[in-house]
Structure 1
Amino acid sequence: MFRARVFAGVPLALVMLALSGCSSLWSCTDTTAERGEAGARVRVVDTSGRPLGVTAEVVDWRLEPHPQVPSEGDQVHFRYRFDGADERSGPAVDACAVDKERVALMCQTVYPSQARGRDGDLTGDDWLAVEHPAQVAGVLLIPNDQSYDGRTCEQDSKDGGGQHPPEPAMVGDQL
């Protein structure tokens, strides 16, 4: 008789756990933000799409041999600027060399910490090694902050989950 009462109380205990919020252990969810509109000048946004008060801009770009590996031919050399960013903990954005159809030929993430400050802005330069340099029509930035590194449900089912930046841009992505 005692066993019947104990087992009868089990469903009630589970309902109480669920209602108290303790069930979050079983309902951890990861979501991915939508990729924003790429451009030569973008307002950087957080994972919920809110502007962070930072702009990132491609100042210029050109095809030329990299000075350390000139034998590899032309690569995309681009300069970028962050306005309103903190050089130590500022947001990061993906920079992509694109063709005339805005298809990514090569992408990488750029950070304010890689830039040098001058007159309140942070200007840096980098290189993108594309397979067919003659196809490059421009360099675009994707406005989503890629610096957020929140825990996923897989890494930590108790404290993980939530909104994460979109996957980094890859070769072949339409921007």
Structure 2
Amino acid sequence: MFPPRLRAGALSALGVLALSGCSSHSSHWGRTDTRAERGEAAVRVQVEDTSGQPLGVTAEVVDWRLEPHPQVPSEGDRVHFRYRFDGADEMHGPAVDACAVDEQRVALACRTLHSSGAWPERDGVLTGDGWLAVEHPKRVVDVLLIPDDRSYDRRTCEQDVKDCGGTHPPKPADRGDRL
């Protein structure tokens, strides 16, 4: 059989696995993938991590208007908006979804804004602009930001059984979603 020291070590290891909720019978080593709930969309939001805790960064839509995109003016009006991130690191800061919405707050078009894609201003604020193509531009009443940080989405259990699990950002906002 096994020497007493080896048996004791094996029993200790099994005890730790059992207490941590991991066992050889558990698929994905006892870890699960979950998605955070989507935060409340607004013109100005405090960016949140997947547990809903503020990151110390504010994102804001400064203004928006309907106008033709300069590279494809023949396609008609699009939503052109300016935004800012206050408190973000210009190299590795957060990202949020921006959506043009109608009067019922239904998303007409969305895209993800990365603070690292914005330009630093003298006061440390990062600013940028974006475009959203919508089918019916006249229905747009606002451009809203969703506070959930989308800058990092860890690997899922299907992609990496050993290191999977945890809470992931909510699914990206998409046309038709009510915000």
Deviations 1:8-49 (A, max 9, x none): xxxx9xx75751545264322001000000000000000000
**C-alpha distance in 1, partners of 2:77/2:154?**
37
- Counterpart residue number, 1:166: 170
**C-alpha distance in 1, partners of 2:37/2:153?**
16
| Shift, 1:149, TM fit | 2.1
Q: TM-score, normalised by structure 2?
A: 0.86
Q: Within the alignment, does 1:141 sit opposite 2:141 as a pair?
A: no
Deviations 1:129-162 (A, max 9, x none): 0011010001000000001221111111111110
- Counterpart residue number, 1:47: 50
Q: TM-score, normalised by structure 1?
A: 0.88
| 1:35 alignment partner, SS class | coil
| 2:79 alignment partner, SS class | strand
Structure 2 unaligned regions, length at least 5: 1-10
CA RMSD of aligned residues (A): 2.0
- Counterpart residue number, 2:108: 105
**C-alpha distance in 2, partners of 1:52/1:165?**
14
Q: Within the alignment, does 1:19 sit opposite 2:18 as a pair?
A: yes
- Counterpart residue number, 1:74: 77
**C-alpha distance in 1, partners of 2:47/2:29?**
33
Match of 1:33 among 23, 26, 36: 36
Q: Within the alignment, does 1:56 sit opposite 2:59 as a pair?
A: yes
| CA 1:71–1:30: 2 relative to 1, 3 Å | same
Work out the number of aligned pairs and report it.
165
Higher mean alpha-carbon deviation, 73-82 vs 147-156, is at 147-156
- Counterpart residue number, 2:127: 123
**C-alpha distance in 2, partners of 1:19/1:174?**
43
| 2:42 alignment partner, SS class | coil
- Counterpart residue number, 2:88: 85
Q: Within the alignment, does 1:154 sit opposite 2:153 as a pair?
A: no
**C-alpha distance in 2, partners of 1:132/1:114?**
27
**C-alpha distance in 2, partners of 1:58/1:171?**
19
**C-alpha distance in 2, partners of 1:128/1:145?**
20
